Amino acid sequence: MVEIAGKPLLHWVLAWLRRNEVRRVVIGIAYKGERIVQHFGDGKSLGLRILYSTHTVEGGTAEGFRLAIERHVKDETFLAMNGDELTDVRMQELAHFHNQKKATATVAVSPLRSPFGVVDLDGSDVVAFREKPRIGSVQVSIGVYTFEHQILDYFPQTGEIEKSVFPRLAAERKLKAYRHEGFWMTVNTLKDLGEAEKELCKSGF
């Protein structure tokens, strides 16, 4: 519920989903989840149908995703994501890629954006200095996924899917990566808030 450009971060996420022709959304809620329910209600004001799934903070992303899927998701293929990501991923393209690859799960990835200035050295000589560059040789998850319903077979009762589900799927070659070269950012700090507001204004988000 932290505000960016005068609206909760989740508002921008839901608006992006609506632009991508998503109409039904399940939101997993835990700590102070009632604030989210009170603010967004059934989602009609945003042109959405919103359902809620309550989980514990201690249960981690595994419990959160698992309960939401078990309670409310009947589709064989569906979008899943973290709630603190801003992105302009085109969901139809992600879904098409996922279906082509016949994956159990597909993770949207993007080049790592270093939070630091990167220094290239030749001995003790600095031969290049790049302030907070995108590092194309390193791809990171941007928290946007496409899942098949059978992914439930991989979910533990609690824990983090990044440490349990995804490594298992990767070992079985059932996890694919969709490369996204557009906008994305995670909002974790006060500095991130300022940068997110600038990006929203610049991109017409």
pLDDT digit string, tens, across residues 38-84: 999 999 999 999 999 999 999 999 999 999 999 999 999 999 999 88
Q: 96 φ, ψ to 5°?
A: -65, -45
Q: How far is CA 22 from CA 16, 159, 176, 182, in A?
A: 9, 28, 22, 20
Please give the pLDDT value at position 74: 95
Q: Where in the chain are the domains?
A: 3-195
pLDDT digit string, tens, across residues 168-205: 999 999 999 999 998 888 877 767 777 777 777 666 55
pLDDT over 80 (residue 5):
no
Angle at the Cα of 144 (from 140 to 145), degrees rounded to 5? 105
Q: If you average pLDDT over every residue of the chain, what do you get?
A: 91
Which of residues 22 and 194 earns the better pLDDT score? 22
Architecture of domain 3-195: Alpha-Beta Complex (3.90)
Whole-model pTM: value is: 0.88
